[in-house]
Amino acid sequence: MTSSTTPLHYLSLAEAAAALAAGRVSSAELTDAVIARAEAVEPRLRALLSADPASARAQAQASDARRAGGGSLGPLDGIPIGLKDVIAVRDQPLTAGSRMLEKFISPYDATVTRRLREAGAVLYGRHNCDEFAMGSSTENSAFHPTGNPWALDRVPGGSSGGSAAALAAGEALATLGSDTGGSIRQPAALCGVVGLKPTYGRVSRFGLVAYASSLDQIGPFGRTVEDVALVLQAIAGHDERDSTSVGAAAEDFAAALSAPSVPRRLGLPREYFGEGLDPEVAVAVERAVTHYRELGCEVREVSLPHTPYCLDTYYVLATAEASSNLARYDGIRYGHRCAAPRDLHDLYFRSRAEGFGAEVKRRIILGTYVLSSGYYDAYYLRAQKVRTLVRQDFLRAFEQVDALLTPTSPIPAFRRGEKANPLAMYLCDIYTIGANLAGLPAMSVPCGFTRAGLPVGFQLIGKPLGESELLAIGHAYDRVHQWGRRRPNL
């Protein structure tokens, strides 16, 4: 792919940064291209919940002025980047895909937002998602579903479906999502882009609407592994406003990509290739494995014996935390308040009943149940112990291998409405949940398409704080295949 044949809105971030640096393009032009593209595709795709073109253009002009003055802030300066609508941007809406926050305007910036601003990025677009990030298809958005750019009647995955779809459709050059059980990686796989969930604590959660605090992590979507590294560079790092932020030393993630490639040891967890895996997905992932073998990597089978319990562990811990995290949405200080409440009791019950959708209510009730008197030990405490075992499985595997390679999603993009049963939907996340429970960095890299033209991705899971190595391994495949540069016929 060369930039001369690529529309501005489909440039990779690295290409756009080079073009900006060389003066071949301005941020205003890039931003205009992205806005025009969004206006063209949004009626069909519906990946955006809100957008502020005037603000984006002003940011672009400021970037161009900076650059003209010789004060570029780096590779992200002037690049249009969109955010999942769970990340706070001052004076912009923050809905989390919920009626509850339909009219909420954030009075503050998330830490990642501040860091993107400091890197000069042009913030454009707030992306659709499953309500409060609960879902795997973006169908749980209170406002509207989002189409998959490769097949509009199919889902883009979720919960960060809007952010994956918007990137795949050319509505931004990179986007940020959040991932609690796979919410970046699964939509990345279903939309054919790269998506990284960093190590828990690598990126500050301050300003991220909380779903499950001990699992949530913000991460980037990009068209290439390199792009993802560039965005991670800007947003990662210790934040004193997030007690769970890790104080790791600064790393140069982009430089790690160009480090001399060393053959790595890759592990295939046998529990991730069993029943329920779509044969076409299996074939595409197998081809990626073959590529790594050809690069000289040692590939061996490993076992993560507690994998069968990951989903259950996740649904206990995540719903418990969510039931408490979402208690603040009560219609008192902000958010939806029911009309003419009779009394305080009525205000609480009706505001929350009207403000939350079915999936959110279901998880709040499940979470309330597992924490309630008499059940805490059997569910929550036990799940925390199983979580320890899951993490131990991974750490043991990393004694033998440098990274694990698995399918990202057992199936490619499914049709809207196809998974009406909650449990069936939850099973979409079986390969991604483990990395959240263990707090590990994990990335979905596109690796081809099904015969029907639906993207497929594989997942790389790395050691704690092993983003540099993970990105290097992913890049070794991605720089050759560049599946994420393919453009849907939209």
Binding to another protein (CB under 8 A): which residues in 175-214?
Answer: 199-201, 205-210, 212-214
Helices and strands: H and E segment counts in the chain? 16, 11
Among 72, 334, 418, 482, binds another protein (CB under 8 A): 334
Among 2, 249, 333, 489, binds another protein (CB under 8 A): 333
427-466 binders of another protein (CB under 8 A): 437-440, 464
Among 52, 66, 143, 369, binds another protein (CB under 8 A): 369
Q: Is 396 in the site for another protein (CB under 8 A)?
A: no
Tell me whether residue 12 is one of the annotated catalytic residues: no
Among 58, 289, 389, 490, binds another protein (CB under 8 A): 389
* Beta bridge partners of residue 461, listed in sequence order: 404, 442
Among 5, 69, 249, 342, binds another protein (CB under 8 A): 342
Number of residues engaging another protein in binding (CB under 8 A): 101
301-320 binders of another protein (CB under 8 A): 306, 308-309, 311-313, 315-316, 320
Is the distance from CB of 163 to CB of 194 less than 8 angstroms?
no
Q: How far apart are CA 52 and CA 142, in angstroms?
A: 21
Q: How far apart are CA 305 and CA 320, in angstroms?
A: 25
Q: How far apart are CA 57 and CA 441, in angstroms?
A: 34
210-269 binders of another protein (CB under 8 A): 210, 212-214, 240-244, 246-247
Among 386, 413, 447, 472, binds another protein (CB under 8 A): 386
Ranges of beta strands (E only) in 136-274 are 174-179, 194-197, 217-222, 265-269
User: What is the secondary structure of 303-314 as a DSSP string?
Assistant: --TTGGGHHHHH
Q: Is 356 in the site for another protein (CB under 8 A)?
A: yes
Q: How far apart are CA 84 and CA 140, in angstroms?
A: 14
Helices marked H in 120-202 — which ranges? Answer: 161-168, 185-191
Query: Which 8-state DSSP code applies to residue 139?
Result: T
Tell me whether residue 409 is one of the annotated catalytic residues: no
Of the listed 136, 183, 323, 409, which one is catalytic?
183
Tell me whether residue 183 is one of the annotated catalytic residues: yes
Of the listed 12, 27, 63, 84, which one is catalytic?
84
**Cβ at position 350, least distance to another protein in Å:** 6
For the record, the structure tokens of 7 come out as 């529309």
154-173 binders of another protein (CB under 8 A): none
Q: Which residue has the tokens 């993970």?
A: 470
Q: Could you list the active site residues?
A: 84, 159, 183
